[in-house]
Structure 1
Amino acid sequence: MASRSEQFKTPALVRVAFSNGLFELQTDDRGNKSWTCSLLIPKSDSLAVYEKAALEAAAGEWGGEAKVKQLIKDKLIHNPILDGDGPQGKNKQTGESHPGFPGHWFIRVKSGENYPPALVDRKRLPVTKAGGAIYSGCYGFAVLHVFTWENKEKGKGLTFGIDMFQAVKDGDRLGGGGGVDVEKWAEVIPDEGEAPASTKGGAGAGGLFG
């Protein structure tokens, strides 16, 4: 049975990337559906709270802290804290860094299909649509936990689960979902009658872990 840590709140602001996964279920290579995004943590921030939760979950599943520290360092347990300047922070097809990732650690957070995270704005009002208060590039605080997993293909690992995200600060929009800036791109188009038949029915636009 998987072990999990206690819930904790991020001690400082984190930045959202690939926010579309918070509003549309994503399917992984094993066919499992989840709510997910990436959270960016500046490298100047401490990772102590994240590491503590990871060790708590790992020790509950695979032994004491000293043992799991060594297993993580030996890469026998998949490290859930990733380097935004490393290969995992880059586009696999182009090799270019994902927008916003350089100079940051990042974690991929997820929640099961039947457990969507609570998404709220500064006033604690629900955010239900992509492109609103929560988008790729915004800043906020997340409530997280860590859970363990193990399978034949990938071995042992740890993942950060997301229980809540509260958007508190705007930021430059990043790629990876979250809608577009309507005020920037849309124009008011005069009404010139019904659209030509040729335009109808188109397909549309497509530390511890070092």
Structure 2
Amino acid sequence: MGSRSEQFKTGLVRVAFVDGLFEVKEDDWGNKYWGCTILIPKSDSLAVYEKAALEAAAAEWGGAEKAMKMIKDKIIHSPFLDGDGPQGKSKATGEPHAGFPGHWFLRVKSGEAYRPVLVDQKKLPIVSKDKLWSGCFGYSVLHSFTWDNPKKGKGLTFGIDMLQLAKEGDRLGGGGGVDVDKWAETIADEGGTELVATLASKGAGGLFG
């Protein structure tokens, strides 16, 4: 089953690939999950994330000292990914994902039976992608958990329990709808009735350093 840390609240983060917060995804091993990507500015400290990751690793792999050595020796796969590195680029085009440069990013997920709670600034439920899209900013409640895969080895991931929207942001790729005001114009048909036509969509540290 693996071990997990206590829950913790993040600082202000940006979210990407938010489709997974509204519809269940499936990984390469057939596990269904909810999830998104969280972007953390490189100017922010990763201390709260690293503390949770080490807590889970220590519980799973024989204490903090042993877990730290395994992490430093890269026996344990790090959950912290570099938005300026290869993993921050599109496999299809080789171009950086919008919003990723200058950030660390985490692919956060929770099992199918544990859908994350999504709320707005007034703590009201968010049920529509019209209210939360890739590029918005918010505060997350996360926990770290361990995994051990016969093919990939040992690793750490972050689970997402809650996301509270703090403010809207420019739309990024990765789902969440289309900015109609940006991409649509008013067009008159032959009878003089105005139609709205969509013209295009927007394409798609520390211990662990």
Tell me the TM-score normalised to structure 2 length.
0.89
User: What is the 5 A alignment of 1:39-188?
Assistant: 39-132=38-131, 134-187=132-185
| 1:204 alignment counterpart | none
Q: How far does residue 171 in structure 1 lie from its aligned partner after superposition?
A: 1.2
Larger strand percent: 2
Aligned partners of 1:112 and 1:192: how far apart in 2?
52
Structure 1 position 9 matched with structure 2 position 24: no
Q: Which amino acid aligns with 1:130?
A: K
Where does the alignment leave 5 or more consecutive residues of structure 1 unmatched?
194-206
Q: Secondary structure at the match of 1:110?
A: strand
Aligned partners of 2:120 and 2:189: how far apart in 1?
36
Q: Secondary structure at the match of 1:208?
A: helix
Q: Secondary structure at the match of 2:6?
A: coil
Q: What value does the CA root-mean-square deviation take over the aligned residues?
A: 1.5
Q: Which amino acid aligns with 1:3?
A: S
Q: How far does residue 93 in structure 1 lie from its aligned partner after superposition?
A: 2.2
Q: Secondary structure at the match of 1:67?
A: helix
Q: How far does residue 192 in structure 1 lie from its aligned partner after superposition?
A: 7.4
Aligned partners of 2:91 and 2:65: how far apart in 1?
34
Q: How far does residue 96 in structure 1 lie from its aligned partner after superposition?
A: 1.0
Aligned partners of 2:48 and 2:62: how far apart in 1?
20
Q: How far does residue 183 in structure 1 lie from its aligned partner after superposition?
A: 2.9
Give % identity. Answer: 72
| 1:197 alignment counterpart | none
Q: Which amino acid aligns with 1:22?
A: L
Aligned partners of 2:186 and 2:111: how far apart in 1?
41
Render the CA deviation track for 1:121-174: whole Å, top value 9, x for unaligned: 111111111132x11000000000011111101111111000000011111110
Q: How far does residue 72 in structure 1 lie from its aligned partner after superposition?
A: 1.3
Aligned partners of 1:80 and 1:169: how far apart in 2?
26
Render the CA deviation track for 1:147-206: whole Å, top value 9, x for unaligned: 11111011111110000000111111101101111233344566879xxxxxxxxxxxxx
Q: Secondary structure at the match of 1:60?
A: helix
Q: Secondary structure at the match of 2:141?
A: strand
Aligned pairs, number: 195
| 1:36 alignment counterpart | 35
Render the CA deviation track for 1:102-122: whole Å, top value 9, x for unaligned: 100011100111111000111
Aligned partners of 2:168 and 2:110: how far apart in 1?
24
Tell me the TM-score normalised to structure 1 length.
0.88
Where does the alignment leave 5 or more consecutive residues of structure 2 unmatched?
192-205
User: What is the 5 A alignment of 1:20-31?
Assistant: 20-31=19-30
